[in-house]
């Protein structure tokens, strides 16, 4: 529930120029049946709406009932999207009233289906589409879309590595839209100041290329210098047309994700959610589990299954904390083992991507543990020999934490920490129900997508959602409120620490390693305050900051209707 800190200072009156049906057709201003009678008279709306005015709460309840009666989740998604295209305030009111229930609709897992069926369910609206034919003209294109509008946030994807479902072409726009919906629902980012962007430089998805209905750039993906030149031009155009915008890079393939993060992180305030957001959120869950176990990070043996953008982000975050615990150099290798498609990463002369080198074990360590044979380094082999205390799944391989693996792990650990983090739920590495069954309820679990609670032995275990949604809204709000020129590593680290601190004893006792999603708003606010403080400490905040809490509070938008007066 909204506490005293949640109260916002919205101006009572808003000067409005539009009238009549033009006002009703403007989703940022439309109140639908929520226009009070005096405003209907003032703005020429009489006769355009059913006569009885309703307040926002009544409208939200009606919409919620409609959404509930939709035949499936994708229809619910489509219905909510239609509401967003008609009445922005009401959309966010409905989300705020039922955040825990509707988050799986506007975000993972349903958004995954929406991405895959994007061209079929497209209803207009959305964001900015950048295509290769805009080469040399991107600045003009952005100027003409944005004009004098103040833009503070862009969620930018090139659609290639969407959730765990790969190259989705133009459909990736739905992910950027979903993320922005959560920025607003969770942290109160003004939706008028945020735009989703699709860098639609083609797709290698054969199905989409063969589909007549496909709405995206109907060619193979641009790669290499040609691709990078377009991203360079886009970034330069953003800096000119939207100089105050924070950029969240979203769902790029890992090589591009890393290149882009490194290339632009000192050029504009930006972060990669898959790398840094995932690192921060998983680290928070891990710290939460360690609090329960009463153990230090340095005492763990952690397996990260999946060496993509997310696995790399988590490994980096763990290593940063190990440095804080004075575990440096080769001693870190004892704490983390990373596996990719070909098994445990080991320096044994085989060719390996540059970024994986930093994650690979020395060959001597592998030999010492009986993992010298490159053909015998599967997850099961590693679990047998290395005996992990923590198992983190970021592979996109459904049910890969099978019974044999989990039982083997649980033989050696009193409280195994297991995070099947891949999204959507259909490709989660394990279900919580199985994990509790196979470990006699000794496991500490968090998943990437929402899962129902587990009932066993007369106890109910709730399942915490280890999802970036606990990080990016608060991080973004802090960056916007503080007008940060960069997103520093310590800002993401502080976001992770602040999140772990938000888990209450009651939640831990119920099995949650993350706060309940119903508390997302207040949690995001606390994270934002902590991160804004860090931005100031790091010297990247440019907003005046006498009272940081107030600075953050006042940066938030409210879904409440304002009273309209003629301009
Ligand atoms: P990615 O494609 O960059 O990486 C996938 C990795 O998994 C690659 O290293 C690949 O080698 C490895 N892999 C694939 N098959 C494997 C197998 N059979 N055995 C071992 N490793 C295998 O993808 P990503 O962006 O890193 O995302 C991975 C997953 O993590 C996705 O499902 C994504 O939804 C999920 N994710 C979850 C969160 C969250 O908040 N919970 C955040 C980011 C990503």
Q: For ligand 1, what atom is nearest to the CA of residue 306?
A: 7
The 3-class secondary structure across 115-129, one letter per residue, is HHCHHHHCCCCCCEE
Largest CA distance in the chain: 82
State the pLDDT confidence band at 311, using cuts at 50, 70 and 90: very high
Residue 430 CA to ligand 1 centre (angstroms) = 14
Of 112, 164, 178, 447, the residue with max ligand 1 atoms within 8 A of its CB, to mutate for a pocket test, comes to: 164
Query: What are the respective helix, strand and coil percentages of the chain, to the nearest 5?
Result: 50, 10, 40
pLDDT of residue 382: 98
Residue 348 has pLDDT above 70, yes or no: yes
Banded model confidence at residue 560, pLDDT cuts 50, 70, 90: very high
The answer to whether residue 417 scores a pLDDT higher than 50 is yes
Q: What is the pLDDT of residue 1?
A: 34
Q: Would you say residue 7 has pLDDT above 50?
A: no
CA 37 to chain centre: 40
Q: Can you tell me the mean pLDDT for 214-231? A: 97
For the question of residue 64 being annotated catalytic, the response is no
pLDDT at 6: 39
User: Confidence band (pLDDT; 50, 70, 90) for 431?
Assistant: very high
Q: Which residues contact 232 (CB under 8 A, 6 or more apart)?
A: none
Indicate which residue's Cα is closest to atom 40 of ligand 1. 467
pLDDT band at 4 (very low <50, low <70, confident <90, very high): very low
In angstroms, what is the span from residue 500 Cα to ligand 1's centroid?
23
- Alpha-carbon distance 447 to 450, whole Å? 7
- Quote the percentage of the chain above a pLDDT of 70: 98
pLDDT at 489 over 70: yes
> Looking at residue 114, what is its pLDDT?
86
Report the C-alpha gap between 63 and 83 in whole angstroms: 9
Whole-number Å distance between alpha carbons of 272 and 492? 11
Query: What is the CA(273)–ligand 1 centre distance, in A?
Result: 13
394 has a pLDDT exceeding 50: yes
Q: Is 446 in the pocket of ligand 1 (CB under 6 A)?
A: no
Confidence band, pLDDT 50/70/90 cuts, at residue 216 = very high
* Atom number of ligand 1 nearest to Cα 468: 40
State the DSSP string of 300-356.
--EEEE--SHHHHHHHHHHHHHHHHTT--GGGGGGTEEEEETTEE-EESS----HHH
Mean pLDDT to the nearest integer, 374-385: 97
Query: Which pLDDT score is estimated for 482?
Result: 97
Q: Is the CB of 285 under 6 A from ligand 1?
A: no
Protein residue closest via CA to atom 2 of ligand 1: 308
CB 194 within 8 A of CB 184: yes
pLDDT score of 42: 97
Residue 240 exposed, middle or buried by CB count within 10 Å (0-12, 13-18, 19+): exposed
Give the ligand 1 atom nearest the CA of 253. 3
Atom number in ligand 1 closest to CA 165: 32
Q: Is the pLDDT of residue 5 over 50?
A: no
Report CA(190)–ligand 1 centroid distance (Å). 31
Is there a catalytic annotation at residue 107?
Answer: yes
In this predicted structure, what is the pLDDT of residue 362? Answer: 94
pLDDT(123) > 90: no
115 lines ligand 1 (CB under 6 A): no
* Structure-token pair, residue 521: 């708003």
Average pLDDT over residues 225-251: 97
For residue range 400-416, what is the model confidence (pLDDT) as tens digits? 999 999 999 999 999 99
> For 247-297, what is each residue's pLDDT tens digit?
999 999 999 999 999 999 999 999 999 999 999 999 999 999 999 999 999
Nearest residue (CA) to ligand 1, atom 20: 341
What mean pLDDT, rounded, does the chain reach?
A: 94
274 Cβ below 6 A of ligand 1: yes
- Sign of torsion over alpha carbons 446, 447, 449, 452: negative
Ligand 1 atom nearest to CA at 423: 34
Q: How many CB atoms lie within 10 A of CB 513?
A: 27
3-state secondary structure of 338: strand
Residue 363 Cα to ligand 1 midpoint, Å, equals 24
Residue 466, ligand 1, Cβ within 6 A: yes
**What pLDDT, on a 0 to 100 scale, did the predictor assign at position 230?**
98
For ligand 1, say whether the CB of 423 is within 6 Å of any of its atoms.
yes
User: Does 345 sit in the ligand 1 pocket, CB within 6 Å?
Assistant: no
Q: Which tokens go with 71? A: 């035949």
For ligand 1, whether the C-beta of 424 sits within 6 Å is: no
Q: How far is the CA of 256 from the centre of ligand 1 (A)?
A: 15
> Which of 179, 254, 319, 356 does the annotation list as catalytic?
179
pLDDT at 126: 73
Kindly report the pTM of this predicted structure: 0.92
Q: Which of 77, 91, 92, 107 is catalytic?
A: 107
Looking at residue 9, its pLDDT comes to 46
Give the residue-averaged pLDDT of 148-163.
Answer: 94
Mutating to test ligand 1, I would choose from 182, 395, 422 the residue with most ligand atoms within 8 A of its C-beta, which is 395
Write the residue with the smallest CA distance to atom 12 of ligand 1.
Answer: 306
The total of other beta-carbon atoms located within 10 Å of residue 458's CB is 5
């Amino acid at each position: 529930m909204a506490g005293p800190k949640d109260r916002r200072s919205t101006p009572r009156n808003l000067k409005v120029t539009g009238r009549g049906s033009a006002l009703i057709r403007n989703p940022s201003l439309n109140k639908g049946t929520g226009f009070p009678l005096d405003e209907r008279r003032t703005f020429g709306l009489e006769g355009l709406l059913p006569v009885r005015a309703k307040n926002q709460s009544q409208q939200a309840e009606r919409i919620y009932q409609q959404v509930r009666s939709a035949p499936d989740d994708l229809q619910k998604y489509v219905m909510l999207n239609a509401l967003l295209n008609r009445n922005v305030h009401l959309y966010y009111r409905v989300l705020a009233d039922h955040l825990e229930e509707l988050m799986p609709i506007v975000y993972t897992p349903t958004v995954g289906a929406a991405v895959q069926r994007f061209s079929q369910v497209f209803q207009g609206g959305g964001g900015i589409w950048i295509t290769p034919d805009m080469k040399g003209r991107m600045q003009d294109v952005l100027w003409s879309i944005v004009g004098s509008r103040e833009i503070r946030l862009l969620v930018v994807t090139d659609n290639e590595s969407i959730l765990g479902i790969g190259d989705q072409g133009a459909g990736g726009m739905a992910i950027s839209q979903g993320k922005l919906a959560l920025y607003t629902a969770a942290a109160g980012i003004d939706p008028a100041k945020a735009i989703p962007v699709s860098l639609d430089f083609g797709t290698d998805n054969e199905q989409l290329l063969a589909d007549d209905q496909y709405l995206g750039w109907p060619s193979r993906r641009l790669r290499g210098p040609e691709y990078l030149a377009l991203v360079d031009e886009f970034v330069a155009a953003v800096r000119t047309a939207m100089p105050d915008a924070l950029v969240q890079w979203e769902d790029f393939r890992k090589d591009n994700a890393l290149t882009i993060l490194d290339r632009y992180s000192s050029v504009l305030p930006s972060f990669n959610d898959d790398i840094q957001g995932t690192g921060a959120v998983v680290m928070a869950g891990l710290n939460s589990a360690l609090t329960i176990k009463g153990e230090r990070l340095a005492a763990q043996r952690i397996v990260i299954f999946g060496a993509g953008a997310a696995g790399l982000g988590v490994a980096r975050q763990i290593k940063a904390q190990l440095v804080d615990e004075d575990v440096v150099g080769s001693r870190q290798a004892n704490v983390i083992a990373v596996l990719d498609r070909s098994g445990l990463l080991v320096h044994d002369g085989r060719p390996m991507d540059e970024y994986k080198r930093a994650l690979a074990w020395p060959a001597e360590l592998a030999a010492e543990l009986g993992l010298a044979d490159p053909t015998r380094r599967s997850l099961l082999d590693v679990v047998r020999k290395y005996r992990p205390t923590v198992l983190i799944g970021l592979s996109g391989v459904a049910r890969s934490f099978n019974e044999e693996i989990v039982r083997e792990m649980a033989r050696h650990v009193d409280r195994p920490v297991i995070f099947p983090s891949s999204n959507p739920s259909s490709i989660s590495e394990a279900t919580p129900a199985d994990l509790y069954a196979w470990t006699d309820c000794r496991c500490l679990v968090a998943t990437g997508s929402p899962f129902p609670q587990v009932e066993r032995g007369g106890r109910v275990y709730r399942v915490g959602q280890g999802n970036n949604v606990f990080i990016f809204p608060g991080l973004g709000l802090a960056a916007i409120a503080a007008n940060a020129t960069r997103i520093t590593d310590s800002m993401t680290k502080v976001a992770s620490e602040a999140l772990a601190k938000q888990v209450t004893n009651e939640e831990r006792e119920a099995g949650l390693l993350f706060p309940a999603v119903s508390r997302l708003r207040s949690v995001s606010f606390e994270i934002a305050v902590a991160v804004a403080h860090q931005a100031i400490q790091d010297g990247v905040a440019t907003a005046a900051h006498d009272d940081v809490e107030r600075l953050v509070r006042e940066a938030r938008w409210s879904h409440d209707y304002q009273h309209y007066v003629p301009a």
